[in-house]
Homo-oligomer: A and B are copies of this chain.
Amino acid sequence: MLKSLQSDILHEAESKDLKVIVISAEGPVFSSGHDLKELTDEQGPDYHAEVFRTCSEVMMLIQNHPVPIIAMVNGLATAAGCQLVASCDIAVASDKSSFATPGVNIGLFCSSPGVALGRAVPRKVALKMLFTGEPISAQEALLHGLLSKVVPEEQLEEETMKIAKKIASLSRVVVSLGKASFYKQLPQDLRTAYYLTSQTMVDNIALPDGQEGIKAFIQKRKPVWSH
């Protein structure tokens, strides 16, 4: 599943026609994470290491990907499934969804989901989830920063597609530059972050789509992107 997700995310990643990716699931569970049958002592530590390396690569791929990646969640997202939601750039969920890191119940602490969760929500929220394994509701997830938006189930696809279509209407090269810049500056000290992004702004203006956008705005017409 992780390799299939990785290959799907990478599919035509560099194509000008790809503007945004939506990750969703069928059925009442968004994702419940790893298949525990792959994690017994029969496979051994080398296989386990490969499983978690692949999982980490998929999560980092989402941040390093040139287009925004949206999680559309309708149901339960647990363990690495909760990590997947936390790793996406944007996450929209139906109000019946819930989120948990329950590994501790089966003696396998959700340490790597904690990487994404700990960067999305306050640590007191993350640690209560990690130490008790108990779920939080979509509303709590929104309140604490794990989600970008919560909607009734019947509006989930419409609202998610509204965001996706908005992104798809923009200049791909500008969105891509902005995404890379955001994640690059975030862990830096303030001076370095401003140094990096000031350069990004100048580079952005010099792009054909940067000039086209500004000209169109001044001329009060719609921009025509070359991407």
- Residues of A48-73 contacting chain B, CB below 8 A: 48-49, 52-53, 55-56, 59-60, 63, 68
Q: Are B36 and A217 in contact (CB under 8 A)?
A: yes
Among B59, B107, B149, B223, the residue within 8 A (CB) of A223 is B107
**Alpha-carbon separation in the docked complex, A145 to B145 (Å):** 10
Q: How many copies does the complex hold?
A: 3
Residues on B with beta carbons closer than 8 Å to the beta carbon of A217: 36, 106
Residues on B with beta carbons closer than 8 Å to the beta carbon of A200: 109, 111-112
Q: How far is the CB of A101 from chain B (nearest CB, A)?
A: 10
Residues on B with beta carbons closer than 8 Å to the beta carbon of A56: 194-195, 197-198
Contact with B along A26-45 (1 / 0, CB 8 A): 00000000001101110001
**Alpha-carbon separation in the docked complex, A109 to B119 (Å):** 23
Q: How far is the CB of A201 from chain B (nearest CB, A)?
A: 5
Residues on B with beta carbons closer than 8 Å to the beta carbon of A189: 187
Contact of A5 with B by CB under 8 A = no
- Residues of A172-219 contacting chain B, CB below 8 A: 174-175, 177-179, 181-182, 185-187, 189-191, 193-195, 197-202, 204-207, 209-218
Q: Are B124 and A201 in contact (CB under 8 A)?
A: no
- Residues of A147-168 contacting chain B, CB below 8 A: 147-149, 163, 166-167
Can you give 12 contacting A-B residue pairs, CB < 8 Å?
A: A48-B201, A52-B202, A60-B190, A107-B204, A107-B211, A107-B212, A107-B214, A107-B223, A109-B204, A118-B186, A120-B124, A128-B163
Residues of A in contact with B (beta carbons under 8 Å apart)? 36-37, 39-41, 45, 48-49, 52-53, 55-56, 59-60, 63, 68, 89-91, 104-112, 114-115, 118-128, 130-134, 143-149, 163, 166-167, 170-171, 174-175, 177-179, 181-182, 185-187, 189-191, 193-195, 197-202, 204-207, 209-218, 223, 225
